[in-house]
Amino acid sequence: MYEKESTSMKISAPTPVFSVNPVVLPAPGRAVDLQVRVSAPMTGSGLPIILLSHGLGSSHHLSSLNGYAPLSGFWAAQGFAVIQPTHLDSKTLSQNPAVNPSGHDPQHWRTRAEDMSQILDQLDVVEAAVPQLAGRLDRGKVAVAGHSMGGHTASLLLGARLTDPRDATVVDLADHRIKAGVLLAATGRGGDAVTAFVTENYPFLTTTDFSAMATPALVVAGDKDDSAFLTVAGPDWHADPYHLAPGPKALLTLYGAEHCLGGISGYDVAETTDENPARVATIALLTSAYLRSHLYPGDPAWQVARDALAADPNASGRIDCK
């Protein structure tokens, strides 16, 4: 076992991992085929799956299958198969006229969620493209994770709903193959909590409804993440998916964390305003433990990690559950 110096939480010794990209999934009707990265341990079978949705952000390549190595690598080393798509709103596709000549698709919130379900529809294609993975996936153990806009995507797959700004229909994109989720600095409620900028540029965020998001989820929020261009509610806005959704839910509040939560989107990246490798390590450990225990009922990893955090006099955050 390996023990972090800053906390008493323990994790299993990591195993070697491999990563393959791009794996191209045929996507009729989509502007371009869906490209994904697959990361997994070199050994082992019955691997649970994590679908990881990227955020938007200012960097070019982090908002694609090339981002979030601090999390994807750790999760893969802990025995998960991690699949990361490049969504149509990725800056890596901004020069492709087939995606959207204007550079902005008002329906990108929908296509993001559809990308994730399409991956689950094509796991046979994924395994065929990555022979090292063939026959090793546990398709009944699927989780979703997402950061920022990716957190919004994950929330829709977990059961959150919204009203389509085009026609005022209530949209339900929940995928019941997904058994648990992690929302990292995700978007919160709409209404009077959002700014005029959101109303003008992201009207789908004005009607978010978490009341049907019943799938178990861990919400991760920084207590210094004010996201002032999105919300007037301050850092608490990012905890809305915990407070406004039915249980079972957990909330990890990180002390001093801003929107990149210490640097989860990549190593040494310019957009991280609160770089803190120890915080990233804590997030990786706790999210892995949460998903392990919720995909495998009876596994003690989550309770052990919670107890260790609570007992640490220098804890970097706190956990609430309901």
Pick out the chain residues at pLDDT < 50.
Answer: 1-8, 102
Beta-strand ranges (E) seen in the chain are 2-3, 10-11, 17-25, 34-41, 47-53, 81-85, 137-147, 161-163, 170-172, 180-184, 217-222, 249-254, 317-321
Q: What is the distance between the alpha carbons of residues 111 and 88, in angstroms, rounded to a whole number?
A: 7
pLDDT, tens digit (0-9, with 9 covering 90-100), for 48-67: 999 999 999 778 789 999 99
Cβ atoms within 10 Å, residue 15: 14
Residues 6 or more apart whose Cβ sits within 8 Å of residue 197: 229, 230
Percent of the chain whose predicted confidence (pLDDT) is above 70: 94
Tokens of 131: 């022979």
**What confidence score (pLDDT) does residue 106 get?**
77
Residue 5 pLDDT: 32
Q: Report the pLDDT value the prediction gives residue 15, as an integer from 0 to 100.
A: 85
The predicted-structure confidence for 118-128, as pLDDT tens digits, reads as follows: 999 999 999 99
According to the model, what pLDDT value does residue 95 have? 80
Contact between 291 and 268 (Cβ < 8 Å):
no
